[in-house]
Chain A
Amino acid sequence: MIPAEAHGTIALRASACTSCMICVRECPTWCIELDSHTEQVSDPGARRPKTVNVLDAFRIDFGLCMYCGICVDLCPFDALAWSPEHDHAATTAAGLVQGITELQTAWPPTGPPTDN
């Protein structure tokens, strides 16, 4: 049986990700890619609309990832976590690249608390 705190794969909670790029820039193997755009949102009561980053794509290439955990440690928003899920086997190198959908599926029950 795989313990809940096992470092099987890395999971993403896209709703917590601010597209700050810290994980992308600090990953030693350059295996994270992120696309985002900015949008203006107006809060009721705020004088001016504020600019927020909107996450469009997030990919981890598990063919390059060395499971060092630097991205998990450095994410200031707890949007990345270790998951006991095992990343899926693939028959091609490209198949080891996981996007938002796969990375969210692995979000662990024991991960940092969700706020939504």
Chain B
Amino acid sequence: MTSQGRIDVAPADWEQVVSGLQREGFVLFDFITAVDRGARLEVVARVINPATRVPVMVWTTLPADAAELSSLSGIYLGATWCEREAAEMFGVRFIGLGDSRPLLLRASLGEPPMRKSSALVARAIRDWPGAAQSTDDGRQGANPSRRRQLPPGVPEGFLRDNPLDSDVSGDVR
């Protein structure tokens, strides 16, 4: 075990390491979730030893475009919900997860919403308050000489009618 209750494991050792922890007394399962690092997806599970109250975080790293990992639901039944959630939110495929129904979302919504590549639609359809610029003395309206700023989470040109895109489309009628 490494310092500060963190263990980093290869994906192939994931299930075995966690099951070893359970045998050592980490019988309380806390959660599983993931972190989108772009090309990599980190998955983390937290388990606790109730006798000592010591928690351990087990981390592993998966390729974002092939995120597959053994399910922990055979070790901790309660991991099922967390894995169903991580599956629909981050697009992790848990091998051996008995119940793979989506937990919160409808099936096949497209891009898992917690991936950074998933566009934040609510942001694309609302005017971004951050797009406002100081108006010059006596003049009204945004200063056109400044560089246009796009809000985070909205890919360029995501919606054609996005008011933020109006000054890049050349076809003014």
Q: How far is the CA of A34 from the CA of B134 in the complex (A)?
A: 9
Structural contact, B126 and A30, CB atoms closer than 8 A: yes
Contact count A vs B, C-beta below 8 Å: 34
Q: How far is the CA of A30 from the CA of B152 in the complex (A)?
A: 11
Cross-chain contact of A19 among B123, B126, B134 (Cβ < 8 A): B134
Q: How far is the CA of A40 from the CA of B137 in the complex (A)?
A: 8
Among B130, B135, B137, B149, which residue has the most Cβ atoms of chain A within 10 A? B130
Structural contact, B132 and A21, CB atoms closer than 8 A: yes
Q: How far is the CA of A30 from the CA of B154 in the complex (A)?
A: 14
Q: How far is the CA of A72 from the CA of B136 in the complex (A)?
A: 27
**B158 within 8 Å of A (CB atoms):** no
Measured between beta carbons, the chain B residues less than 8 angstroms from A53 are 134
Q: Shortest beta-carbon distance, A51 to chain B, in Å?
A: 9
**A103 within 8 Å of B (CB atoms):** no
Measured between beta carbons, the chain A residues less than 8 angstroms from B126 are 30
Q: Closest B-chain residue to A30, C-beta based?
A: B129
Structural contact, A38 and B137, CB atoms closer than 8 A: yes
Total residues of chain B contacting the partner, CB 8 A: 12
Q: How far is the CA of A53 from the CA of B132 in the complex (A)?
A: 13
Q: How far is the CA of A34 from the CA of B48 in the complex (A)?
A: 46
Q: How far is the CA of A39 from the CA of B149 in the complex (A)?
A: 22
**A24 within 8 Å of B (CB atoms):** yes
The majority secondary structure among interface residues of chain A is strand
**A48 within 8 Å of B (CB atoms):** no
Structural contact, B137 and A25, CB atoms closer than 8 A: no
Contact pattern, B 129-165, Cβ under 8 Å of A = 1, otherwise 0:
1101011110000000000010100000000000000
Among A25, A36, A39, which residue has the most Cβ atoms of chain B within 10 A? A25
Structural contact, B134 and A36, CB atoms closer than 8 A: yes
Structural contact, B136 and A37, CB atoms closer than 8 A: yes
Structural contact, A32 and B129, CB atoms closer than 8 A: yes
Measured between beta carbons, the chain A residues less than 8 angstroms from B128 are 30
Measured between beta carbons, the chain B residues less than 8 angstroms from A73 are none
Structural contact, A24 and B132, CB atoms closer than 8 A: yes
Q: Shortest beta-carbon distance, B137 to chain A, in Å?
A: 6
Q: Closest B-chain residue to A23, C-beta based?
A: B130
Q: A35-B132, A53-B134 are in contact. List 8 more A-B contacts (CB 8 A).
A: A19-B134, A25-B151, A30-B130, A30-B151, A33-B129, A34-B129, A37-B135, A38-B136
Chain A residues within CB distance 8 Å of chain B: 19, 21, 24-25, 30, 32-40, 53
